[in-house]
Amino acid sequence: MSVDKAFREMVRNEIEAQLKPLRDLVSRLEAGTADLDRLRTVAEQLAPLAGAVGPLFGVAAGSRGAAAAPVRRGPGRPARAASAPAPVSGGKKRGRKPAAEGGSRECAIRGCGKPSRTKGYCAAHYQKLRMLEKTNRRPTNWVDYAESNSVEDIKLPRGRAAAKALAEAKNAG
Ligand SMILES: [Zn+2]
């Protein structure tokens, strides 16, 4: 019995010691000298400890200072988990179709020769395709996943002619 009591006392003192930084922080917070982020960090570190050990000795988590457990967490869950970096997974590659059979293919635009990157077009020609589409001028033969070297490039008008072409395309759409 007395051993049990001594053990409880010891653990309680240990918890007390662990919670002291938090308590100090709370009083500094009340005095307006600490920032909330730091409080949150300390509280997150201490909450699992108090939550896991407290119930074993009849101490409800938070009863010894309500600020001790503002973050609810399952008992026994390691505090480390919260700060662990997100797993780096080999996730999806963005917007790319896997290379066709037999490795890389060339841009759909005739004579371009650059490797195709998106929907059969090289980076530059895909940009151009998007721009033409946006301005309602996409040529019908500029199809997605067109054959390599199969599509005739178009020369865009410049200067005043460009403005005129844009306006015409807009009216047409
Ligand atoms: Zn190209």
- 58-92: pLDDT as tens digits: 765 444 544 454 566 566 655 554 555 555 655 55
| pLDDT tens-digit map of 141-158 | 999 999 999 999 999 999
Judge contact between 121 and 107, C-beta under 8 A: yes
Residue appearing with tokens 């909330």: 36
The angle formed by the CA atoms of residues 84, 89 and 95, to the nearest 5 degrees, is 135
Q: Which residues contact 97 (CB under 8 A, 6 or more apart)?
A: 118, 119, 145
What's the 161 CA to ligand 1 centre distance in angstroms?
24
Instruction: Supply φ then ψ for residue 113, to 5 degrees.
Output: 85, -10
Q: Read off the tokens for 151.
A: 């599509």
* Domain total of the chain: 2
What's the 67 CA to ligand 1 centre distance in angstroms?
62
* Residue numbers of the domain that contains 21: 2-72
Its pTM stands at 0.41
| Residue that finishes a domain, picked among 72, 87, 120 | 72
**Looking at the domain assignment, is residue 166 inside a domain?**
yes
